[in-house]
Structure 1
Amino acid sequence: MKDSIDNNTPDLFAEPEGLPDAHSDVALEEPAQPPVPPIITDEPNGEEPDEELAAYAKSAYLAYAMAVSKSRAIPDVRDGQKPVQRRILFAMREMGNEWDKPHKKSARIVGDVIGKYHPHGDSAVYEAAVRMAQDFSLRYPLIDGQGNFGSLDGDSAAAMRYTEIRLTPIAELLLSELDQGTVSFRQNYDGSFQEPTVLPARLPFLLLNGASGIGVGIATEVPSHNLREVCEVAAQMVETPSFTEAQMLDMIPGPDFPGGGQILSSDQDIRNAYTSGRGSIAVRARYIFEEMARGQWQMVITELPPGASAAKVLSEIETLTNPQPKMGKKTIDQGQTQTKTLLLSLLDTARDESDKEQSVRIVFGPKSSRIDRDEFARTLLAYTSLETTVSFNLVQVGLDGNPMQKSLFTILTEWCQFRVATVEKRLKFRLGKVNDRIHILEGRHIVFLNIDEVIRIIRQSDEPKSALIERFALSDRQADDILEIRLRQLSRLEGIKIEQEIAELMKERTKLEAILASPAKMRTLVAKEIREDTKKFGDDRRTLIQTEKRASLSEAAVLDEPVTIILSEKGWLRQRQGHGIDIATLSFKEGDKLFASIECRSPDSLILLSSDGRSFTLIASQIPGGKGDGVPAPSVVGIQAGTSIVSIMTGQPEDRVLLSNSGGYGFVTKISEMLTRQKAGKLLMTLEEGEKVLPPVLLPSGSLELQRYVACVSSSDKLLVFPLGEVKEIPKGRGVILMGLSNQESLKLVCVFEDLLTAKGVRRGRSIEEAPLFEIGKRARKGSLLNLKVEGLYATTVSK
């Protein structure tokens, strides 16, 4: 690697402008706290001016918030640990509780931590240690626990007197360089012990294990990542100062959660979260379908997204299939009923078969093997936490000592700066040790070459140290070492060892000085060490990244079957399975009777049209079935008091409908214009005072043609027939005049026909049906009087 780069290339390891030297202990370890200004009192009665009090309160609050965030809630970008986690790891190391030693009681560790470094409650320290030992909480656990440390289902860990812990091998990457001059130490709370201000992390643990925390006015949510991906990026960033954010995003596809799962969000969504430091992604459980005997099958969940557990999922299903009334209600609402009906129509069994061999195994059995598998899975994903959202909030204490939200690239850049500075300190510390050892060995070598004279001086001199220094030009260190040396070390064999050790140390010194003198060699060494640790501790990715559409409630499975929807005159709705229902067998509440029935499929959209010109949309499957009287329409849709339902209909979005009102106005619109997602409905037809909407007429398929005719009958039994093509097609509004009306007259019937029109009514007290005589007229005319009190109009032929 070249020792220098182009001056125009941005240096990733350049110090931020206006910040302390990143290689100094002050900048890397413990930045100064902002001073709290004193209260300035100018009032004669000793009362503070409002401005000064406000400034003091603001500064005091900010200082408090900063202290809490840094000392408790927010992790450090350098070692990725919060103070309590750092103190637990340090205390375990000091007690020799390392990965190759026997476990120690958790209570012993907790006592040491709160007694020496962390004067807080023992439960807080133990809970932090438990989380560091849970392989379902941390991607790379730092503590090896023995005993009950809780479960994914939310079970608590056993008391600390029962469990035992020790460090894991990967935790050595945080602690191995503590005694090599890499970080500064400070006094503990009572000044009796020393503790490190930060751990000399060899890898970016903030991103490997992630972090979450809530401070004062600030919070963090950093997801875990795969060690191989992150560390290869870190190694290349160290090696190549011109490494760009785009290159990083290509190498880190997304988070890697301890429990696996599948990330559904697009690459762009993930990149946006990484570049801004804030965002969210959708994560789904992973599942398989297991084949069983006689064509049966079952759905098995094998991996869960963060925050989900088998107990939580099964509890959600129990709540949905056995709902309880909401607060302040005596009965469950329509939405709960619909969800219950849907799930019970699909799901037969749900059980947790997780064990030691399979940490996650949730089994769902369908009602029937004929149910579509994808719809079955989509429904469970939509209604439970099997599909969830994971938030990004990349906040950490940076190199400047302040908690701040930063991009992933900035986080890695700051860690790389810290790592290079740490390795530089380690090498300088080692160089000092090497020089000191060479200095001592050179003194011993002088003794070996002049052994007789040295012995004579020691025996005869009153001040042998001064005499040796004067005779052989030794330093105080060398003279003290010679006087303390054992006689057995003066053998010929020991002399050879001294010469060999001096030669080896001289080579090491030359190598260290060369590295320290060359930034390029320094970066190469750091990158090499990162890759060596990656090779030792790296593993395969657990979380699959595959962009897919999220399962939504609107797309959840609905059992597609024939149903009949029944509407009573008083507005009660109910559903019956199948077609061809014998209406005569239906019973209604006293004083009520059938208003309309419609045959459709359970996933179909139904349109209710009210007398005030509003349309409402329902899914057929949302209407409860059973043998009861159903539910009142106002409990399902937002029909206004004093209005009634004039029609219930369904059709394809492109189908056309003729709408009219008692004022003689009307227009043609499409079914798609009548659909709405709002419970309060959609205002479709504008009415004047006293007018009401008439039942709509579903038009035959095809374009509007003149051979189709509109027949209108007024309240005075006048008939007007004109071509359908004269009616304007609009999405909504009042429309055009269909029939001219006199004062106190209203439009009561509208029909569309092609060949033959039949009128049903009463003449001279007799009920009759006949084809009335008429002439094709023009829209908006008054029509001609019929010799019949008309009660109904209908076409006797259908469209060819």
Structure 2
Amino acid sequence: MSSEAPDPDDPQAASRVDRVRIEDEMEQSYIDYAMSVIAGRALPDVRDGLKPVHRRILYAMHEMGVSSRSAHRKSSSIVGETMGDYHPHGDSAIYDTLVRMAQPFSMRYPLVDGQGNFGSMDGDPAAAMRYTEARMSPISEELLADIEKDTVDFQSNYDDRLREPEVLPSAMPNLLVNGSSGIAVGMSTNIPPHNLGEVIDATVHLIDNPDCEVEDLMDHVKGPDFPTGGNIVGKDAIYSAYATGRGRLRVRADYEVDPEENRIVVTEIPYQENKARMVERIAEDVNEGVIEGIADLRDESDRNGVRIVVELKRGANVDVVENQLLESHLESTFGVINLALVDDEPRVLTLKETLEHYVAHRKEVVRRRSQFELDEAQDRAHILEGRLKALQNVDDVVELIQDSEDRDEARTELRSQFDFSEEQAAHIVRMQLGSLTSMETAEIESEYEDVQARIERLQTILDSEDELLTVIKDELREIKAEYDDDRKTSILEAEGEVTHEDLIPEEDCVVVITEDDYIKRMPVDAFDAQNRGGKGIIGSDPKDGDRVSKVFRANSHDYLLCFTNQGQVYRLKTYEIPEMSRTARGKSAVNIIDLGDDEEITAVVSTDDFEEDECLTMVTRNGYVKRTCVDEFENILSTGIIAAKLEDGDALVDVEVTDDSGDLVVATEGGMTIRFDESEVREMGRSARGVRGIDLQDGDKVAAMVATDDHDDRALLTVTENGYGKRTLLAEYSKQSRYGKGLIDIKTDDRNGRVATAKAVREDDHLVIMSESGQIMRIPAGDVSQVGRNTKGVKIMALDGVDNVASVTVVPAEVENDE
């Protein structure tokens, strides 16, 4: 060393020495080391959810041909290949990683199919690598799919001999699906695993609704889904973890209390809990008297699952023992730290941000794959064009090749005389004579057509962002169909946990909507009953040019299906509609429901009314009727879904919940009604238009629909736009065949005006009537005279000037009595 020291007499020596402060050098060296550990070992990449060691093991298996369809290979062989070619950090670290990837109690969807002893939930270690065998699991191949199609960037391995991928294409959101854990320098990550189907549904929802919130994604991702099952206690903690990237989840074992056998049986334990150690700790607490009342403790677990039996002493208080076990042993805390590498920098991510980065990765992968396949297809099309051209001039081409001295001359002459490219000429020279048959010609033409169609499809994907996203969604759905399974972990409400909904008083409300889509709710009891024929009081104050279009009653905790004139349906909680005073205008509905242009709510149904095998029956302005099973309205996007297909100029008017056992009464604006058996309208899908329910007269339109049956003692309330109305027993409306002209219900002369709506009511129900200008009035239904069909009715509400009745809602008698 001394011989290499600078010569103090050398005048240039000083210029070759850098003087630095030792604390600065140590700080920079430590930062370099820390970043090496963070980026190179401990943290997963947000795109494929893998750390370098996981990625290198899978890629080494891919290069070795150890797929899910091949024979198992000795683990020592896989570890050796990985260490020698890609990961020179010691065989034990690589094998430990391989083992964990094969453990079904560690990975929600194991990436390695192991054969042999790969450890247990009791903390037993895996057998030595020379005794175990492994191969890729089918789902791990989805992470590597299309890697040979220039979908990801490659980098040199540690000794520059080989190339390895910087990230895998990852056809599924693996970071959330399998989770990750690791300790870096000054930071750590602990991402829980999730259900594949739920994560894919959330990813598809995010693609369709890029402006959605974490709450919207949680409609699909209910919470972590641990491979060992168990229960997560408390939804607020899950929301906090998803919204901030950090949280603490209470994970509880799943158990059954058997009072007849006087025992507690544990069938699932918290994730990452050592089962044997947990049983030992319970036994220690029993022996030390910390837990009393336990007579025997047995671990009866086998390959079929966990079974820990806690036998209780005679006379022991089961609740006390249960609470003691929960407090000390059957519950643990899982600390969520959603930390991953984004562009080689560690970041704590929310649920939405995690999925956004994954979608961006898949867009890049699919775009690069499509470009690769397009280049291949275009090259193939170029060769096929040359072959077809050669076949069109087959005699001349064959003669030219025969007359040439060698292949080089033949290629040159082909390019000169027939304008072939270099690639085409080389291919033609190599062609065999057997390929000149008519059958071969037909096959080439067919292949050329297929290649051209493939080129057009790939070009569409590359040119259209929407088409590219559609491809991503379709591929995600295919993976879900292939690998989805039932959720293993249940979500429990925490005892004493106060949810947002708990803070909302449960009460009956009146919801008011205007034509310009302003919406609000008010308590029903804010309106005292008045006498028939009054003007009512101010119930809304629409802006100039706006008019009230709909008023309906709902409970503040109801889930509502809101159907619009354009045939869409949206779902929301009543309490999500802002509560305002009578004189308030309301809030723009676009802040609550994603309504389109010229779209307005025309019917509302509470999902609390649904029962098994029921249908939603709809009627349109032009008289079409359809029935669709309520099951088709379970998963409604924030942007809504199609409820009915409409003709141009048609609009959805009314919706009723029916069970195929009664009749439908359709009322028109011109005062006609028709009653027919519901079974005449067959059940059909959401996108169907329906069948004709009534033969409308010229200029007439449907106003409303009512569901009834032969034992219904209610009356049909018909209200006209000028504030007149009547009640007629439903029994007076005789049944006809569907698509008839119907019967006269009420006279629609100048005094009455056209029919505004029709409702089924009982005498002790209350009516809430609202005018277009915002006047509202509440009256008992019995105040409206009960008369026969084909009459004028009586004045119900006094209207000013050009004001008209906008809508009527019914407050049932049982609700009225509760108030």
Q: Same fold (TM over 0.5)?
A: yes
- How far apart in 2 are the matches of 1:78 and 1:264? 30
What is the aligned partner in structure 1 of residue 296 from structure 2? Answer: 349
**1:104 is the counterpart of 2:77:** no
- The Cα of 1:54 is off from its aligned counterpart by 4.2
User: Which residue type is aligned with residue 49 of structure 2?
Assistant: G
Which of 103, 115, 120 is the matching residue for 1:151? 120
- How far apart in 1 are the matches of 2:194 and 2:258? 31
TM-score scaled by length of structure 2:
0.57
Per-residue CA deviation, residues 401-439 of structure 1 (Å, 9 max, x unaligned), is 211212121111111111111111111111111101100
User: Which residue type is aligned with residue 302 of structure 1?
Assistant: T
8 Å Cα contact 1:239-1:524 kept in structure 2:
no
Structure 1 unaligned residues grouped into runs of 5+: 1-40, 323-339, 552-800
Per-residue CA deviation, residues 275-308 of structure 1 (Å, 9 max, x unaligned), is 11112111110001346xxx53211100010122
Per-residue CA deviation, residues 501-544 of structure 1 (Å, 9 max, x unaligned), is 00011111111112211111111221121111111111111101
Structure 2 unaligned residues grouped into runs of 5+: 1-11, 498-819
**1:478 is the counterpart of 2:442:** no
Which of 324, 347, 357 is the matching residue for 1:379? 324
Per-residue CA deviation, residues 144-183 of structure 1 (Å, 9 max, x unaligned), is 1111110000001111111111111111110111111101
Q: What SS does the aligned partner of 2:219 have?
A: helix
* Alpha-carbon spacing, 1:238–1:467, altered in 2? closer, same or farther (3 Å): same
Which of 246, 249, 252 is the matching residue for 1:284? 252
What is the aligned partner in structure 2 of residue 574 from structure 1? Answer: none
Per-residue CA deviation, residues 599-624 of structure 1 (Å, 9 max, x unaligned), is xxxxxxxxxxxxxxxxxxxxxxxxxx
8 Å Cα contact 1:305-1:387 kept in structure 2:
yes
**1:433 is the counterpart of 2:398:** no
Which of 60, 64, 79 is the matching residue for 2:33? 64
- How far apart in 2 are the matches of 1:447 and 1:95? 42
What is the aligned partner in structure 2 of residue 239 from structure 1? Answer: 208
What is the aligned partner in structure 2 of residue 263 from structure 1? Answer: 232
What is the aligned partner in structure 2 of residue 445 from structure 1? Answer: 388
What is the aligned partner in structure 2 of residue 336 from structure 1? Answer: none
- The Cα of 1:191 is off from its aligned counterpart by 2.1
Q: What SS does the aligned partner of 2:181 have?
A: strand
Q: What SS does the aligned partner of 2:271 have?
A: coil
- How far apart in 2 are the matches of 1:141 and 1:202? 15
* Alpha-carbon spacing, 1:47–1:59, altered in 2? closer, same or farther (3 Å): closer
What is the aligned partner in structure 2 of residue 496 from structure 1? Answer: 442
Per-residue CA deviation, residues 652-679 of structure 1 (Å, 9 max, x unaligned), is xxxxxxxxxxxxxxxxxxxxxxxxxxxx
- The Cα of 1:45 is off from its aligned counterpart by 12
What is the aligned partner in structure 2 of residue 391 from structure 1? Answer: 335
Q: What SS does the aligned partner of 2:493 have?
A: coil
**1:181 is the counterpart of 2:150:** yes
Structural mapping, 1:616-635, within 5 Å: none
* Alpha-carbon spacing, 1:443–1:286, altered in 2? closer, same or farther (3 Å): same
- How far apart in 1 are the matches of 2:149 and 2:203? 23
- The Cα of 1:104 is off from its aligned counterpart by 1.2
- How far apart in 1 are the matches of 2:352 and 2:25? 37
- How far apart in 1 are the matches of 2:209 and 2:282? 52
- How far apart in 1 are the matches of 2:462 and 2:249? 43
- The Cα of 1:121 is off from its aligned counterpart by 1.1
Which of 448, 464, 486 is the matching residue for 1:540? 486
- How far apart in 2 are the matches of 1:272 and 1:217? 23
User: Which residue type is aligned with residue 451 of structure 1?
Assistant: V
- The Cα of 1:109 is off from its aligned counterpart by 1.0
- How far apart in 2 are the matches of 1:64 and 1:317? 43
- The Cα of 1:234 is off from its aligned counterpart by 0.5
What is the aligned partner in structure 1 of residue 677 from structure 2? Answer: none
8 Å Cα contact 2:56-2:82 kept in structure 1:
yes
Which of 228, 235, 240 is the matching residue for 1:272? 240
- How far apart in 2 are the matches of 1:97 and 1:270? 38
User: Which residue type is aligned with residue 422 of structure 2?
Assistant: D
- The Cα of 1:55 is off from its aligned counterpart by 4.2
Which of 484, 494, 507 is the matching residue for 2:453? 507
- How far apart in 2 are the matches of 1:85 and 1:190? 19
**1:132 is the counterpart of 2:101:** yes
**1:415 is the counterpart of 2:384:** no
What is the aligned partner in structure 1 of residue 268 from structure 2? Answer: 303
Structural mapping, 1:215-234, within 5 Å: 215-234=184-203
- How far apart in 2 are the matches of 1:321 and 1:203? 46
Q: What SS does the aligned partner of 2:151 have?
A: coil
What is the aligned partner in structure 1 of residue 415 from structure 2? Answer: 469
Structural mapping, 1:85-104, within 5 Å: 85-104=54-73
User: Which residue type is aligned with residue 289 of structure 1?
Assistant: V
Structural mapping, 1:495-574, within 5 Å: 495-549=441-495
**1:403 is the counterpart of 2:346:** yes
- How far apart in 2 are the matches of 1:139 and 1:71? 24
- How far apart in 1 are the matches of 2:120 and 2:166? 32
- How far apart in 2 are the matches of 1:445 and 1:355? 66
Structural mapping, 1:603-618, within 5 Å: none
User: Which residue type is aligned with residue 317 of structure 1?
Assistant: I
- The Cα of 1:229 is off from its aligned counterpart by 1.0
* Alpha-carbon spacing, 1:472–1:244, altered in 2? closer, same or farther (3 Å): farther
- How far apart in 2 are the matches of 1:516 and 1:492? 36
Q: What SS does the aligned partner of 2:125 have?
A: coil
8 Å Cα contact 2:370-2:458 kept in structure 1:
yes
- How far apart in 1 are the matches of 2:23 and 2:430? 67
| Higher RCO, Cα 8 Å, sep 6+ | 1
Structural mapping, 1:21-100, within 5 Å: 48=19, 50=21, 53-100=22-69
- The Cα of 1:469 is off from its aligned counterpart by 0.7
Which of 388, 393, 399 is the matching residue for 1:456? 399
8 Å Cα contact 1:235-1:528 kept in structure 2:
no
- How far apart in 1 are the matches of 2:390 and 2:335? 68
Q: What SS does the aligned partner of 2:189 have?
A: strand
- The Cα of 1:342 is off from its aligned counterpart by 4.2
Q: What SS does the aligned partner of 1:170 have?
A: helix
What is the aligned partner in structure 2 of residue 313 from structure 1? Answer: 278
8 Å Cα contact 1:42-1:49 kept in structure 2:
no
- How far apart in 2 are the matches of 1:239 and 1:484? 50
Q: How many residues align?
A: 483
- The Cα of 1:48 is off from its aligned counterpart by 3.4
- The Cα of 1:211 is off from its aligned counterpart by 0.3
What is the aligned partner in structure 2 of residue 630 from structure 1? Answer: none
Per-residue CA deviation, residues 625-651 of structure 1 (Å, 9 max, x unaligned), is xxxxxxxxxxxxxxxxxxxxxxxxxxx
User: Which residue type is aligned with residue 206 of structure 2?
Assistant: M
User: Which residue type is aligned with residue 388 of structure 2?
Assistant: H
What is the aligned partner in structure 2 of residue 191 from structure 1? Answer: 160
* Alpha-carbon spacing, 1:391–1:445, altered in 2? closer, same or farther (3 Å): same
The structure number with the bigger radius of gyration is: 1
- The Cα of 1:196 is off from its aligned counterpart by 1.1
TM-score scaled by length of structure 1:
0.58
User: Which residue type is aligned with residue 379 of structure 2?
Assistant: D
User: Which residue type is aligned with residue 297 of structure 1?
Assistant: N
8 Å Cα contact 1:87-1:118 kept in structure 2:
yes
- The Cα of 1:117 is off from its aligned counterpart by 1.1
- How far apart in 2 are the matches of 1:95 and 1:490? 40
Which of 112, 115, 120 is the matching residue for 2:84? 115
